[in-house]
Amino acid sequence: MTSLVRLYALVFFICLSFSQVLYSNIEEYFRYSVLPDASNYGNTGLLETPSARFMEEASLRLNFSSSFPNEYTSLTASPFSWFEATYRYAEIKNQKYGPAGYSGNQSLKDKGFDIKFRLREESYYLPALALGLRDIAGSGELASEYFVASKRYNNLDMTLGFGWGKLGTSNSIGNPLEVIDERFLDRDNETSGRGGEFSYTSWFSGRTSVIGGLEYYLQKYGLKFTLEYDTSNPDSYGFVPKVESRFNFGLSYHLSNSLNVSAAFERGDQFRVSFNLKGNFLKDTIKKPAPKNVVRLSQDQLKKVKKNNQIFYSSLNKSLRDESIYIQAATLNEKEVDVAIASSKYYSLTRPAGRAARITSALSPETVEKINIHSMNGDIEVAVISLNRREFDAAANKSGSLSELLNKSEMFSDNSNPIYKTADFQPTVYFPEFEWSMSPGLNHQIGGPEGFYLGQLFWMTDTSLKFRRNLTLYTTLGINIYDTFRDLNNPSQSTIPHVRSDIQYYLEEGRNNIERMQLQYMASPWKDVFIRADLGLLETMFAGVGGEVLYRPFNRRVAFGVSAHRVRQRDYNQRFSLRDYETTTGHASIYFDLPSGIQPKIVVGKYLAGDKGVTLDIARRFDTGFTLGIFASKTTLSAEEFGEGSFDKGFYLSIPTKLFYGDYSSGMISFGLHPLTKDGAALLRQHNPLFGILGDTNRASISRDWLYLID
């Protein structure tokens, strides 16, 4: 063991033995909390060195870090408090992407994916422990594994651990895992050249280094100082010609709880500048409008209601519209009232149901004991919440409990017999109904040989023409404003049908396009069974006919779906002409709704290129609606047939827009990324997938959001 390693170990364990974690109330008065932030690579750490610190769960962090030769742009997510995942693009400025005829003067780009697990939380005497893998299933350029411990003593945070792979390059210690198996002594650094493969036989093997560093926090000034010893030795494998110093120094300044900037002096001769933007979406921290006050009917008005229910229906209709809730049907009886509602304003089902119940109770005669709210999504009735009026009024007035209200309420689904067909009051609806919206949009291709980012700004117009209930024509038009797609020059070399890999031709020739012109029919012929039929230009690259069936048992945490389409490939200009390739694609799906918001999905079937296989999708949905998900597919294609990446994979996230505004909204900001656009495991992009519309309408989802009933 070198003297430097002995010094690290001595400092760490002396401080650990005297560790007395002190918490001072003065920190509560500082404007911003200075917390552990991103390493150069995006996940929580020092500079080159990872730590055992993590973001709070339900957090996202965008990080940019630039020096020479490596520049990193990354996105880190924490679906759990004990887990971080990072997707990263690295630019290696002193290497070329490829031959000049292929990629011009563009520098080398590399994609990577990191994961980190917390093994234990920090306690009074013992440090936090974490284990992580860097650049898994990537090219291996930055592949590393590590085991680290972090301990806080007042304002000083210390990290010490072991690193393998690039982190183990200095080889300062023998691999401690050799006592388990001698295979850990040697590391296989060969790659297939395709990437995307898990080289698990190399993990935690080969050269090993002690890694570590110190962080010192000045909360009063929003500052954090960092010192680390860099064990990656970039000069030993040709990334840089010479390293003047193995010590790296950094300074971070927190401009707010969400934004910080930092600078570092690395390798004795290089400066690095970084910034990261972080958001936590575990709670909705922006206050929203409370339910509007409803003036109860006077005794004279209530007497008139008993003689003429139209007075009740008219008052109910007006008051609901004030809350952006639209009555679809209503029936007033002596002891109960049924009201069917629809609203596009609210994200959850229970909030508009609760506001509708509050209004209904205020306007109903005293003899009414039960309020039945029939929630609709579009023209489909999805659930009925039957409330005890007395218990609901008590809960709404804060004199009763929500749990007692839940115990005395009923929830059920009678979607095959919607109330709007038989109700006493049915508002007049004039067909056809026409709606439209406009907004700017972006198309892009990231990480290609022609340039890191090629994109398009366009104007998108969405229209819907409803001919009658359940039958609608959807159209999406795109008008180009500006693009850089003329630089695209990388035709697909795929050996299977080009169902996705001709994307550059669609981007270049379809600048002004008809993305969708689709006739869609939806219905619910039987209890808990929903159907959707499609005809027309279904998406950017395919037209055809088909549909979907979903069985969603209201009282269970599982749903089943089947979809099938006969499709033909659209021409590159995305108008009405079609190409020769056609196929039948279809899948069977099973959806799970597990505790803690875990939502796995398994999809099995035939994909657009004719390959057959399975897609596994795992997401976590938080109570706010914020969702993080990953997916991977394996089909009958070999790794060679699939090409670079070896198999299909990616991630996605969705953030409800209500988290950014002082009013309710059902909108979503969604982002998903396939690292590569490949033909294997390609799914048809379906508009209005049934589970997306109905997945949050079972008993478990309503119970989860029960709190919003009186909010």
Residue 415 has pLDDT above 80, yes or no: yes
d(C-alpha 601, C-alpha 590), whole Å: 6
Mean pLDDT is highest, among 99-108, 436-445, 624-633, 671-680, for 624-633
Question: Once rounded to an integer, what is the mean pLDDT over residues 255-259?
Answer: 91
pLDDT of residue 234: 86
Question: Once rounded to an integer, what is the mean pLDDT over residues 352-372?
Answer: 94
pLDDT of residue 19: 43
Q: How confident is the model at residue 299 (pLDDT cuts 50, 70, 90)?
A: confident
Which range, of 81-95, 227-241, 459-473, 620-634, averages the lowest pLDDT?
Answer: 227-241
Higher pLDDT, 451 or 57: 57
Contacts 24+ apart (CB under 8 A), 134-138: 134/41, 134/50, 134/165, 134/166, 134/167, 136/198, 137/113, 137/195, 137/196, 137/197, 137/198, 137/649, 138/110, 138/111, 138/112, 138/113, 138/195, 138/196
Question: Once rounded to an integer, what is the mean pLDDT over residues 363-381?
Answer: 93
Question: Once rounded to an integer, what is the mean pLDDT over residues 292-313?
Answer: 85
Question: Once rounded to an integer, what is the mean pLDDT over residues 646-653?
Answer: 89
pLDDT of residue 196: 60
The tens digit of pLDDT for each residue in 166-184 reads 999 999 999 999 999 888 9
d(C-alpha 515, C-alpha 65), whole Å: 37
Which range, of 152-156, 232-236, 477-481, 635-639, averages the lowest pLDDT?
Answer: 232-236
Q: Which two tokens stand for residue 295?
A: 């003036």
Question: Once rounded to an integer, what is the mean pLDDT over residues 200-212?
Answer: 92
If one counts every other C-beta atom within 10 angstroms of the C-beta of residue 656, the result is 22
Dihedral sign, Cα of residue 572, residue 575, residue 576, residue 577: negative
Q: How confident is the model at residue 195 (pLDDT cuts 50, 70, 90)?
A: low
Which range, of 69-83, 89-103, 596-610, averages the lowest pLDDT?
Answer: 89-103
pLDDT of residue 676: 76
Q: How confident is the model at residue 527 (pLDDT cuts 50, 70, 90)?
A: very high
Mean pLDDT is highest, among 66-70, 563-567, 640-644, 706-710, for 563-567
Q: Which two tokens stand for residue 397?
A: 């007035």
Residue 682 has pLDDT above 60, yes or no: yes
| 3-280 and 299-429: identical CATH topology | no
pLDDT of residue 692: 93
Round the CA-based radius of gyration of the chain to a whole number and report it: 29
Q: What is the mean pLDDT of the chain?
A: 90
Residue 16 has pLDDT above 60, yes or no: no
Supply the CATH classification number for the domain 3-280. 2.40.160.40
Residue with tokens 């006739």: 519
* pTM of the entire predicted model: 0.90
The tens digit of pLDDT for each residue in 131-148 reads 999 998 767 788 999 999
If one counts every other C-beta atom within 10 angstroms of the C-beta of residue 507, the result is 23
Residue 5 has pLDDT above 60, yes or no: no
Q: How confident is the model at residue 672 (pLDDT cuts 50, 70, 90)?
A: confident
pLDDT of residue 3: 47
Scored b (16 or more CB within 10 A) or e, 10-40 reads eebeebbeebeeeeeeeeeeeeeebbbbbbb
Residue 17 has pLDDT above 90, yes or no: no
Higher pLDDT, 342 or 13: 342
Question: Once rounded to an integer, what is the mean pLDDT over residues 632-658?
Answer: 89
Q: How far apart are the first and last CA of the chain?
A: 62
pLDDT of residue 485: 85
Work out whether strand 529-537 and strand 336-342 pair parallel, antiparallel, or are unpaired.
unpaired
Say how far residue 220 (Cα) sits from the centre of its chain.
34
pLDDT of residue 389: 94
Scored b (16 or more CB within 10 A) or e, 110-146 reads bbbbbebebeeebeeeebbbbbbbbbbbbbbbbbbbb
Element (H, E) at 278: strand 270-280
pLDDT of residue 105: 79
pLDDT of residue 13: 43
Q: How confident is the model at residue 322 (pLDDT cuts 50, 70, 90)?
A: very high
The tens digit of pLDDT for each residue in 540-571 reads 999 999 999 999 999 999 999 999 999 999 99
d(C-alpha 169, C-alpha 276), whole Å: 28
Q: Residues of the chain with pLDDT > 90: what percent?
A: 70
Asked if residues 431 and 466 have their Cβ atoms less than 8 Å apart, the reply is yes
Close Cβ partners of 383 (under 8 Å, ≥ 6 residues apart): 349, 374, 375, 411, 412, 413, 554, 697, 698, 702
Name the nearest CA neighbour of 268 among 488, 92, 416, 67: 67
Q: How confident is the model at residue 1 (pLDDT cuts 50, 70, 90)?
A: very low
pLDDT of residue 31: 63
Contacts 24+ apart (CB under 8 A), 23-27: 27/219
pLDDT of residue 194: 52
The residue extents of the domains of the chain are 3-280, 299-429, 433-468+470-699
Three-class DSSP category at 595: helix
Question: Once rounded to an integer, what is the mean pLDDT over residues 404-428?
Answer: 91
In Å, the largest CA–CA distance within the chain is 95
pLDDT of residue 26: 56
What secondary structure letter does DSSP report for 290? Answer: P
Q: Which two tokens stand for residue 282?
A: 């575990």
* DSSP string of 29-60, one letter each residue: GSSS-----B-TTSSBBSSSSB-S--PPTTEE
Beta bridge partners of 231: none
Residue 22 has pLDDT above 50, yes or no: no
Measured N-to-C along each axis, helices 350-363 and 309-322 cross at an angle, to the nearest 10 degrees, of 140
Residue 201 has pLDDT above 90, yes or no: no
Supply the CATH classification number for the domain 299-429. 3.30.300
The tens digit of pLDDT for each residue in 480-525 reads 999 988 877 778 888 999 999 999 899 999 999 999 999 999 999 9
Name the nearest CA neighbour of 317 among 327, 307, 309: 327
d(C-alpha 212, C-alpha 49), whole Å: 7
Residue 662 has pLDDT above 60, yes or no: yes
**What torsion, rounded to 10 degrees, do the Cα atoms 143, 147, 151, 152 define?**
20
Name the nearest CA neighbour of 329 among 428, 429, 417, 426: 426
* DSSP string of 347-394, one letter each residue: SSSHHHHHHHHHHHHHHS-TT--EEEEEEEETTEEEEEEEEEHHHHHH
Question: Once rounded to an integer, what is the mean pLDDT over residues 29-37?
Answer: 78
d(C-alpha 70, C-alpha 72), whole Å: 7
Number of residues in the chain: 711
Residue with tokens 């997945």: 695
Q: How confident is the model at residue 667 (pLDDT cuts 50, 70, 90)?
A: confident
Beta bridge partners of 655: 669
pLDDT of residue 645: 74
pLDDT of residue 21: 43
pLDDT of residue 29: 57
Three-class DSSP category at 303: helix
Three-class DSSP category at 419: helix
Close Cβ partners of 366 (under 8 Å, ≥ 6 residues apart): 302
Say how far residue 643 (Cα) sits from the centre of its chain.
27
